Structure formats: structure tokens, C-alpha cells
Structure 1
């Protein structure tokens, strides 16, 4: 049985470990079925994508749309590493699920605009819903109506990238989930997240510009009220479909 390649971008040890645990937990994966690579501290290994069941990219504090001269050397290295995979992923329709940062990478690779001009969302639980096309997509199996989406992002896709299907929409951010080809997916929300995951991230990223620091306690309480079932279903469906 092929493992899934899980690429992580978070420089904070606690946040990275918790994200990895959440991906395994929500996706129904065991550690022996995951090849974890922390791109903020190691390079992308020589990668034969055919040796993996699929690729999952986690989130992180970097922004694709930031000017190059404002990105740290680590952020540049991470971005270059993930972007280097995208030609093979899209050309060969490799099973791919990009979470938050991943939608910016996919859209940027496909030539769409990714910016902070519109559609940013504070750390929160937003309402999202499958589009008509999304209702028939296998990754959204069992999700027929609006659901809680755990969000928090400064940049967003500004228009549907060429060749993509629009699967999930939100009120504040219309492009919450897209698909290129048959197997290349990306979400603006965090399908691995729940109230505990967001409580930890709120604590770690409280001074990173996602929200006013004095709002941390309120945001934590609100996150704990969110229902993570739909996001978990998307991760499980991805693992089940390609694993």
C-alpha cells in the first residue's frame, strides 16, 4: 500500500506536530502510511510521485502573493519546493490536496490571481456550501448543504483558475474549494482543523497579523463551537479514494 506524501510548512514545532496529528486523525491515516516532510527545515527529497498514493500540503504563515523581497529565505525555499511539484502534479493529474496555502500555490501555478485585494478571512468558523458541481464530487460525498469551515487567511484566489471546477463557495470568500482535472484539489479552509486545533494556532499565531491579539480569547471560544465533521469527511474521502 502506497503512503501519502505530507508536506508541511509551519516553522513552529508545536503547530507542525499538531497539524500532522490532525491530518492523520481526520484522514484516518496511520503514521506508517504517511511520508512526512517538513519543508521549513529540510529540502524536498528526490520525489517519484508514482510511489505515493497522493500528496497533501498543509498550511502555514507564508503568503504566495507577498513581494519576493519581503519573504524570508525559508519562505522562499518552501514556496519554490511546492511550486516545483506542480507541473508534474497538474500534467499527470496526480492526487493532490492543498489546504489553505495549497490553493494559492495551485492557482498561482495555473496563472490565476492570488492576492490580499479581496476575500481574506479572519481566524473564524465560516459557513460554506457545495456548489451544484460540488454536490456530485466524490470528495464531498455526504456533504449536501452548508457546513462549518475553519478559516484564517490573508490572501485568496481572486478568480477561478483556468481549467478548474468550483466545488465549494463561502459568503466572504467565494473560492473555498476547487478541483483541477479529476484529482487535483485545493481548499481555502482547513479540513484538518477543529476547535482544539484552532485554539492552539490562535495561541501560537496571535501576533502574526491574522487578528487583533486582544481577540484571542473570544476567537478561541468561537472556534470551539465549530463543527469539524465536514472537513474531516473531505480528508477521509481523499484518503479512501486514493489510498
Structure 2
């Protein structure tokens, strides 16, 4: 079985704990080591002890003009680990906020023109994605959960676009065969997402007075995004 490390970048302890368990369940592993980047940097020698890493979401945004010391430290560590994945030293799945960090690192552009509200949405698997071991089995489309304020309209240089939709053109890409990045959340079930919403009622992902309506819509959705992480664990274990 592959050894995988969950890298946490959420300041909210309850949301971080729940995300950790969501990743563990979606990966299909009995235990999942955790590293909290807000508490300490992740050095390459530690990361490379694992076959792969998965990076969760965060209320941080890479497009803000003033990034605090903690956010800068977090992003420096994420860039180092992402480079390890680009160089083939480990496999990485970077989700939500961390796709922005990776995109910027690779020379791409992240902006605020293509946000998506808290909801389930359908994404289309590209031709390249149909041949990918993670995304191919879900072609031609899959249902996923989104909530983000920033994104990209095209993948960064050197990346292969794997999934897209009309609202946010870059939903997922791959660099080489070891680094994956998704704008959506592949780890959560609808109930997970609603539980997480309680921590972010007033942070701009949805209108606070529409919490009940938004939660009901999420709970009514059927999503297939968690299949990606199970496949990620399987692929990592064979390489």
C-alpha cells in the first residue's frame, strides 16, 4: 500500500480535522499521516519519505496583494513540494487553493474572473483527460463540489488540461505524470461539504442568509469526484 501524506493548510481546526478524515476515506487508506503547514514548514527530505501527498483547501487566496508571513511560508513549502512532484520524486494532488499556488509557480495566471459558488457542478473530461489513469474512467464528465473565489482561464505552461467547464475553464490539469491539480474538491461528500460550510458562513463563499438553501442543494447532489483520490492512491502504489 502506498504511503501518502495529507498536507493541511486550513487555519480552522475543526474544518482541518474533518478534511483530514475526508481525504483518508476518499483515498481508501486505513490511516493517513498529517502535516500542518501553518505550524511548521514541510522540507523536501520529509516529503520524499512518502510515495505521494495530498493538499487540502484553505481560505487563503494567492491573488491578494498583501500575503502575511504565515501564508508566504505556506506557499514556499507548497512550491517546493510541487517541484518535487514535477521532478518525479513523489506524486502530488493539489486541490482548491493550492492549484493557484502551483499555477503561479509554473508561470501561469490566477485571477478572480472565474469564481464558482458553493455547489455541485458538472465538469467535462478533455480528450487528454480521457487517456489519464485518474480521470479517464470518469469520462466524458463527472459531478464535483466547488467553492472558490479565484481560478484560471488556461492551464500554466507545461500542464495538460484534464477537465473543464464553462464557468471555470481550468478544473484540473497534470504536469508530467506525477503532479495533479484540481480547482474543485475531490475529497468531500455532500454531507462533508455542508459540515464544512458551518466554518465559512461569513467568508464570501455563499450568502449567509442562504445557508439553508445552499446546504439543501448540496445535500441533494450526487457527486463522483471522490473516485479520483481512490485512483490516485492506486496509481501511487504501483509506481
Q: Which secondary structure state, in structure 2, belongs to the residue aligned with residue 139 of structure 1?
A: coil
Aligned twin of 1:88: 84
CA contact (8 A) 2:158 2:175 kept: yes
Q: Match of 2:21? A: 21
2:6 maps to what in 1?
6
TM-score scaled by structure 2? Answer: 0.93
Tell me which of 49, 52, 66 is aligned to 1:51: 49
1:127 alignment counterpart: 122
Aligned to 2:189: 194
Range 138-147 or range 149-158, more displaced = 138-147
Structure 1 residues 50, 37: closer, same or farther in 2, change over 3 A?
Answer: closer
Report what 2:37 is aligned to.
39
Gaps of 5+ in 1: none
Q: Residue 227 of structure 2 aligns to a residue in which SS?
A: helix
Report if the CA contact (8 A) 2:43-2:77 is conserved: no
**1:103–1:157 CA contact under 8 A, matched in 2:** no
| Number of equivalent positions | 237
CA RMSD of aligned residues (A): 1.6
Instruction: Identify unmatched segments of 5+ residues in structure 2.
Output: none
Structure 1 residues 193-241: Cα deviation after superposition (integer angstroms, max 9, x where no partner): 111111112111011111211111111011112223x211100000011
Query: In the alignment, is residue 149 of structure 1 matched against residue 144 of structure 2?
Result: yes
* Alignment partners' CA distance in 2, 1:84 and 1:134: 26
TM-score (norm 1): 0.92
Q: Distance in 2 between matches of 1:91 and 1:235?
A: 21
1:232 aligns with 2:223: no
CA distance in 2, matches of 1:6, 1:105: 17
**Alignment partners' CA distance in 1, 2:77 and 2:150:** 20
Alpha-carbon contact 1:6-1:55 (below 8 Å) kept = yes
Do residues 77 (structure 1) and 73 (structure 2) align?
Answer: yes
Structure 1 stretches of at least 4 aligned residues deviating more than 6 Å after TM superposition:
none
Query: What is the rounded CA distance, in whole Å, between the counterparts of 1:2 and 1:137 in structure 2?
Result: 19
Relative to structure 1, the CA distance from residue 93 to residue 225 in structure 2 (aligned partners, 3 Å threshold; closer, same or farther) is farther
